[in-house]
């Protein structure tokens, strides 16, 4: 059952092969039995899930089925869920129970999906290893001594361990794609503005996007159909019709032009990873695509620019956490300043504090021009690189992350080493482009991901490109050794 894809489950439910209650119980059972090893869930909503599953079975029986009626998924604990704790991986929100749903959550609810629970994540989405969560690190199902990637480590691990067929996640600098790569699953970050940010706790407002994680491109397409919409509550939501992302999956890739940026195959790229990616590219040639070497000359500036812009926006977005209206509050504050200093000093973890301070620095008087303004200028140059490239090619491909999953603590006290994990993914967020990762190999029995970057709103093409690869290869079907 747990090896069924989302698509399989939908067919099975429609055919009456099993009930929603059975499916839901199955996954809840697995979570109970196995998540102790991975720590991928922060909250499991067992009772609500079973109740909704029963209701879904009724709806289906009475002929009132909806598109994801009775299908279980999980939500990254960054999406506000009405009446259910939404922690964002932080002590600051450990007691936060929102009285409203994120638009993404509402979309799935109306589509009839069952929510198994909220998945673990790096605190406030800041991290590439899921080691910064207040709720403890998430373990990679492929090797529990290794990180699953981050910040959506919980969603990635849960899908990889088949604890849920699919999960929602968010990506600000690679937080969907990199954990998807490290956990051997498929993940997609849509074009900026495609998925509503209402109720999605903000890290860096101009970079954050919600997207799906599942084992196949087809499942991601099904998820994206429900996640994407124009939301008037989000000023940055783009008013553009949502196509059926499953409609183009079968298209042939004959004549597809794939851009391969030379900057993405530089030093620092693990040789095993490079080989797996090159093999995948060769596979694409067999499918009729043409590889074109391209250059994205400002690539080396992406990480520096990101580590100005993201912390700057985050420093303002996280200022609201002050112990006054919700969330953590320090005990017995002696005056106003004490309330702020200790609530925030005690409520935030080290990485979050570090980024807030870096952000405040980059925006402060005397440094704004040299840092923030400069970074936003570089951002435009990075975007222009892609705009120019997409005049020549249809999609761009390369490795998702420089190496497979690393051991816990391997990046030690070196934040910059951690930041370089996102070296290939960050530029897409800066430009607002859509990006995906699909499994394309194994190195030392640890997954490698192939990154696919598309032009604005080309998610359907990207999913088609990914799907065809998944028809010709079976990397996406591999399971972690010894997985129950």
Which residue among the candidates 128, 175, 196, 401 is catalytic per the annotation?
175
For another protein, the closer of residues 86 and 132 by Cβ is: 86
What does the alpha-carbon distance between residue 199 and residue 196 come to, in Å, rounded to a whole number?
Answer: 8
Query: Does 76 participate in catalysis according to the annotation?
Result: yes
Structure tokens at 2: 């747990």
266 binds another protein (CB under 8 A): no
What does the alpha-carbon distance between residue 167 and residue 5 come to, in Å, rounded to a whole number?
Answer: 12
360 binds another protein (CB under 8 A): yes
State the nearest-atom distance from the C-beta of 209 to another protein, in Å.
10
Residue from 27, 264, 284, 372 that binds another protein (CB under 8 A)?
372
Residue from 21, 23, 256, 363 that binds another protein (CB under 8 A)?
363
Sheet holding 209-214, edge to edge: 41-44, 114-119, 72-76, 166-171, 209-214, 186-189, 435-443, 446-454, 395-399, 257-261, 290-294
What does the alpha-carbon distance between residue 12 and residue 97 come to, in Å, rounded to a whole number?
Answer: 34
| String marking each residue 174-203 x if it binds another protein according to CB under 8 A | ------------------xx---xxxxxx-
108 binds another protein (CB under 8 A): no
For another protein, the closer of residues 34 and 102 by Cβ is: 102
| String marking each residue 425-444 x if it binds another protein according to CB under 8 A | ----xxxx------------
Structure tokens at 230: 């124009």
305 binds another protein (CB under 8 A): yes
102 binds another protein (CB under 8 A): yes
Stretch that binds another protein, among 23-31, 152-160, 172-180, 330-338 (CB under 8 A): 330-338
Query: Does 109 participate in catalysis according to the annotation?
Result: no
Which residue among the candidates 20, 109, 151, 237 is catalytic per the annotation?
151
State the nearest-atom distance from the C-beta of 433 to another protein, in Å.
8
User: Are 154 and 147 a contacting pair, CB within 8 Å?
Assistant: no
What does the alpha-carbon distance between residue 352 and residue 354 come to, in Å, rounded to a whole number?
Answer: 5
What does the alpha-carbon distance between residue 80 and residue 118 come to, in Å, rounded to a whole number?
Answer: 10
Query: Does 175 participate in catalysis according to the annotation?
Result: yes
**Of residues 383-412, those binding another protein (CB under 8 A):** 383
Residue from 11, 33, 247, 357 that binds another protein (CB under 8 A)?
357
> What SS3 state is found at 392?
coil
Which residue among the candidates 76, 118, 139, 411 is catalytic per the annotation?
76
**Of residues 26-65, those binding another protein (CB under 8 A):** none
CA torsion sign, 140 to 141 to 144 to 145? Answer: negative
296 binds another protein (CB under 8 A): no
State the nearest-atom distance from the C-beta of 255 to another protein, in Å.
29
Query: What DSSP state is assigned to residue 425?
Result: T
DSSP string of 50-114?
HHHHHHHHHHHHTT---TTTT-EEEEETTB-BTTB---TTSGGGTT---SS--HHHHHHHHHT-E
For another protein, the closer of residues 247 and 336 by Cβ is: 336
What does the alpha-carbon distance between residue 71 and residue 87 come to, in Å, rounded to a whole number?
Answer: 24
Stretch that binds another protein, among 150-158, 261-269, 273-281, 329-337 (CB under 8 A): 329-337
In the chain, what is the greatest distance between 2 CA atoms, to the nearest angstrom?
Answer: 69
Structure tokens at 197: 């940010």
State the nearest-atom distance from the C-beta of 401 to another protein, in Å.
18
For another protein, the closer of residues 30 and 342 by Cβ is: 342
361 binds another protein (CB under 8 A): yes
Catalytic residue annotation:
76, 151, 175
């Amino acid at each position: 059952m747990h090896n069924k894809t989302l698509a399989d489950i939908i067919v099975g439910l429609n055919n009456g092969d099993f009930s929603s209650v059975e499916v839901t119980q199955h996954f809840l059972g697995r979570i109970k039995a196995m998540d102790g090893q991975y720590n991928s869930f922060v909250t499991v909503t067992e009772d609500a899930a079973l109740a909704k599953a029963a209701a879904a079975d009724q709806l289906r029986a009475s002929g009132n089925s909806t598109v994801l009626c009775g299908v279980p998924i999980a939500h990254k604990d960054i999406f506000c869920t009405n009446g259910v704790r939404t922690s964002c991986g932080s002590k600051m929100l450990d007691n936060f129970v929102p009285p409203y749903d994120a638009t993404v959550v509402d979309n799935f609810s109306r589509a009839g999906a069952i929510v198994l629970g909220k998945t673990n994540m790096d605190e406030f989405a800041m991290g590439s290893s899921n080691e910064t969560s207040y709720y403890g690190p998430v373990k990679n199902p492929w090797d529990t001594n290794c990180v699953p990637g981050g910040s959506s480590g919980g969603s990635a691990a849960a899908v990889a361990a088949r604890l849920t067929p699919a999960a929602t996640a968010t990506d600000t600098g690679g937080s969907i794609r990199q954990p998807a790569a490290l956990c051997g699953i498929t993940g997609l970050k849509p074009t900026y503005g495609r998925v509503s940010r209402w109720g999605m706790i903000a890290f860096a407002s101009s970079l954050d996007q919600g997207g799906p994680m599942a084992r196949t491109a087809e499942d991601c397409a099904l998820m994206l159909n429900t996640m994407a919409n124009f939301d008037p509550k989000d000023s940055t939501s783009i008013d553009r019709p949502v196509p059926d992302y499953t409609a183009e999956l079968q298209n042939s890739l004959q004549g597809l032009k794939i851009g391969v940026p030379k900057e993405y195959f530089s030093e620092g790229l693990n040789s095993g990873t490079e080989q797996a990616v090159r093999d995948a590219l060769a596979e694409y040639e067999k499918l009729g695509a043409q590889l074109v070497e391209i250059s994205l000359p400002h690539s080396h500036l992406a990480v520096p620019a990101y580590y100005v812009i993201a912390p700057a926006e985050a420093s303002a977005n996280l200022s609201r956490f002050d112990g006054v209206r919700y969330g953590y509050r320090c005990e017995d504050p002696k005056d106003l300043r004490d309330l702020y200093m200790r609530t925030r000093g005690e409520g935030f973890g080290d990485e979050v504090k570090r980024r807030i301070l870096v952000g405040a620095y980059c925006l402060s008087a005397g440094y704004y021009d040299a840092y923030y303004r400069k970074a936003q200028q570089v951002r435009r140059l990075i975007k222009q690189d892609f705009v120019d490239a997409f005049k020549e090619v249809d999609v761009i491909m390369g490795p998702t992350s420089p190496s497979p999953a690393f051991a816990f603590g391997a990046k030690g006290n070196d934040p910059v080493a951690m930041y370089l994990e996102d070296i290939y993914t960050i530029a897409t967020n800066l430009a607002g482009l859509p990006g995906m990762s699909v499994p394309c190999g194994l190195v030392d029995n640890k997954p490698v991901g192939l990154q696919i970057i598309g032009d604005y709103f080309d998610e359907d093409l990207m999913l088609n490109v990914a799907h065809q690869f998944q028809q010709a290869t079976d990397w996406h079907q591999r399971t972690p050794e010894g997985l129950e």
